[in-house]
Structure 1
Amino acid sequence: MRLIEVKNVTKKFGDHTVLKNINFTLDEGQVLGVLGRSGSGKSVLLHMLRGMEGYEPTEGSVIYHVAVCNKCGKVEVPSKAGQPCQCNEEQVGEFKEKAVDFWENDEMTYNLKKKIAIMLQRTFALYGERTVAENILEALRNAGVEGKEASDKALELIKMVKLEHRITHISRDLSGGEKQRVVLARQIAKDPVIFLADEPTGTLDPKTAQLVHTALAETVVKHNIAMVITSHWPEVIEELSQSTIWLENGKVKMFDESKKVVDEFMKTITSMKKFDDVEIKDELINLKDVEKRYVSVERGIVKAVNGVDLSINEKEIFGLVGLSGAGKTTLSKIIAGILPPSKGNYTFRLGEQLVDMTKAGPANRGRARRYIGILFQEYSLYPHRTILYNLTESIGLEMPAEFAKMKAEHTLISVGFTEEEATGMLDKYPKELSVGEKHRVALAQVLIREPHLVLLDEPTGTMDPITRNMVAESIQYSRKELDQTYIIVSHDMDFVLNVCDRAGLVRGGKLIKIGKPSEIVDILSSEEKSEMLNE
Structure 2
Amino acid sequence: MSKNEDFITVEGLRVYMGGVAVLDDINFRIKEGEGFGILGKSGSGKSVLMHSMRGTREYKPDKGSIIYRVALCPNIERCGWAEPPSRAGEPCPKCGQILEIKEVNIWDCDPQLRHNIYNRLSLMMQRTFAIYGEMAVIQNIEEALKDIDYPKEKRVAKIMELLNRVELVHRSLHIARDLSGGEKQRVVLARHLALDPIALYADEPTGTLDPITADTVHRVLRQEIERGMTMIITSHWLHAIEQLTDHGIVLEDGRIIAAGKTTEISEKLRGGYEEFERGEIEAAAPKVKIENCSKSFYVADRGGMVHAVKNINLTINEGEIFGIVGVSGAGKTTLGKMLAGLQTTSSGRILIRIGDDWIDMNEPGEYGRGRATPYISILHQEYGLYHHSTIVENLTDSIGLTMPAEIARMKAREILKMVGFDEKRIDDILQSMPDELGVGEQHRIALARALMTEPDILILDEPTGTIDSLTLNDVIRAILRSRKELNQTYIIMSHDVDFVERVCDRAMLMSGGEMVKVGEPSEIVKLFKEREKVMGA
TM over 0.5: yes
Number of paired residues?
A: 527
Measured in 2, the distance between the counterparts of 1:223 and 1:322 equals 33
Measured in 1, the distance between the counterparts of 2:516 and 2:94 equals 64
Q: Residues 63 and 520 of structure 1: is their aligned pair in 2 closer, same or farther, counting only changes over 3 Å?
A: closer
Measured in 2, the distance between the counterparts of 1:295 and 1:32 equals 44
**Aligned position for 1:30:** 34
Q: Does 1:454 align with 2:461?
A: no
User: Are the aligned partners of 1:322 and 1:528 in contact in 2 as well (CA < 8 Å)?
Assistant: no
| Residues 345-365 of structure 1 deviation map (CA, whole Å, 9 limit, x = unaligned) | 432222333222232233212
Give the C-alpha shift of residue 277 in structure 1.
3.6
| Residues 505-531 of structure 1 deviation map (CA, whole Å, 9 limit, x = unaligned) | 335544444333234346557214779
The one-letter code of the counterpart of 2:273 is T
Unaligned runs of 5+ in 1: none
**Aligned position for 2:231:** 227
**Aligned position for 1:75:** 82
State the superposition RMSD in angstroms. Answer: 2.9
Give the C-alpha shift of residue 464 in structure 1.
3.7
Query: TM-score normalised to the size of structure 2?
Result: 0.89
Measured in 2, the distance between the counterparts of 1:488 and 1:241 equals 32
1:106-145 → structure 2 map (5 Å cutoff): 106-145=111-150
1:213-252 → structure 2 map (5 Å cutoff): 213-219=218-224, 221-252=225-256
Measured in 2, the distance between the counterparts of 1:53 and 1:473 equals 38
The one-letter code of the counterpart of 2:47 is S
Q: Which residue of 317, 325, 333 corresponds with 1:329?
A: 333
**Aligned position for 1:183:** 188
**Aligned position for 2:161:** 156
Give the C-alpha shift of residue 458 in structure 1.
1.5
Percent identity of paired positions between Structure 1 and Structure 2? 47
Measured in 2, the distance between the counterparts of 1:139 and 1:433 equals 31
| Residues 162-202 of structure 1 deviation map (CA, whole Å, 9 limit, x = unaligned) | 11111121212111111111111111111111111122111
Unaligned runs of 5+ in 2: none
| Residues 349-397 of structure 1 deviation map (CA, whole Å, 9 limit, x = unaligned) | 2233322223223321233223322112222434454212322344444
Q: Residues 267 and 357 of structure 1: is their aligned pair in 2 closer, same or farther, counting only changes over 3 Å?
A: closer
Measured in 1, the distance between the counterparts of 2:262 and 2:126 equals 22
Q: Residues 354 and 259 of structure 1: is their aligned pair in 2 closer, same or farther, counting only changes over 3 Å?
A: closer
Q: Residues 25 and 277 of structure 1: is their aligned pair in 2 closer, same or farther, counting only changes over 3 Å?
A: same
Measured in 2, the distance between the counterparts of 1:473 and 1:150 equals 52
**Aligned position for 2:355:** 351
User: Are the aligned partners of 1:206 and 1:462 in contact in 2 as well (CA < 8 Å)?
Assistant: no
Query: TM-score normalised to the size of structure 1?
Result: 0.89
User: Are the aligned partners of 1:415 and 1:477 in contact in 2 as well (CA < 8 Å)?
Assistant: no
Measured in 2, the distance between the counterparts of 1:111 and 1:41 equals 26
Q: Residues 57 and 143 of structure 1: is their aligned pair in 2 closer, same or farther, counting only changes over 3 Å?
A: same
Give the C-alpha shift of residue 205 in structure 1.
0.9
The one-letter code of the counterpart of 2:139 is E
**Aligned position for 2:171:** 166
| Residues 411-436 of structure 1 deviation map (CA, whole Å, 9 limit, x = unaligned) | 32333335444333201233443333
1:76-475 → structure 2 map (5 Å cutoff): 76-85=83-92, 87=94, 92-105=96-109, 106-219=111-224, 221-262=225-266, 264-265=267-268, 268-277=271-280, 279=282, 281-292=284-295, 304-397=308-401, 399-461=403-465, 463-475=467-479
Measured in 2, the distance between the counterparts of 1:302 and 1:427 equals 45
User: Are the aligned partners of 2:145 and 2:194 in contact in 1 as well (CA < 8 Å)?
Assistant: yes
Measured in 2, the distance between the counterparts of 1:18 and 1:81 equals 36
**Aligned position for 1:54:** 58
1:489-508 → structure 2 map (5 Å cutoff): 489-507=493-511
